[in-house]
Amino acid sequence: MTKTHEHDWSPTGVVVGDDGSTGAAAAVRYAVEEAQRRGCTVHVVRAYTLLSSSRPADVPFGVVPSDEELRQAAESELAARWRSLAEESGVEIDCHPVHGRADQVLIDASHSASAVVVGARGVGGIEALLLGSVADRVVHHARCPVVVVRG
C-alpha cells in the first residue's frame, strides 16, 4: 500500500493533501472514489516542515529530529491513517511525505497528476474563510483540475 518518494517524483493519478485534519480526511475519501472512477492510483501527500511535522516517538525532547526522522514519522502516520481504506476500497494508495510547503508541493505534483484534491480548510483555517490559504493557492496555480472538498 505505501510507497515513499522524495520531492522529485512525478505522480500520475489523483493527488490529495493530508495535514491530519478532518477536512483532509474527507478529501482523501473523495480522492479514493475519484481514483476508483478513473482506475488509477491515489497519491496522499503529507507536506511537512520542522514546525508542522509529527514528532518522532523515539527522539527525546530537547533534541531536534533529522529530516529523515521527520519523514519516517510522517510516513508511519500516513500508512496507519489510510491502510484500512486502501484495503476496503481496493485502490492503491501511495503515501508521500515531502519536506516543503503544502501549497507548493501540491502545485508541483499537479504538473503530472490527473487531478488534485484538497480540503477546503486544514488545521490552520480561520472559520470565516471560504477557502484556506493552501486550497486557494492550489486552485489558482495548479496545472490540472482541482477538486475542493468541504469536510
- Which pLDDT value is given to residue 113? 97
- Which pLDDT value is given to residue 5? 43
Average pLDDT, the chain: 88
pLDDT digits (tens, 9 = 90+) for 80-94: 999 999 999 999 999
- Which pLDDT value is given to residue 8? 60
- Please identify every stretch of the chain with a pLDDT value under 50, giving residue numbers as ranges: 2-6, 125, 128
CA–CA dist 110, 2 (Å, integer): 20
DSSP per position, 46-108: EEE-TTTSPPPTTSPTTSPPPHHHHHHHHHHHHHHHHHHHHHHH---EEEEEEES-HHHHHHH
- Which pLDDT value is given to residue 2? 44
CA–CA dist 97, 128 (Å, integer): 29
- Which pLDDT value is given to residue 140? 96
Architecture, CATH, for domain 14-149: 3-Layer(aba) Sandwich (3.40)
Query: CB neighbours of 71 closer than 8 A, spacing ≥ 6?
Result: 4, 48, 97, 99
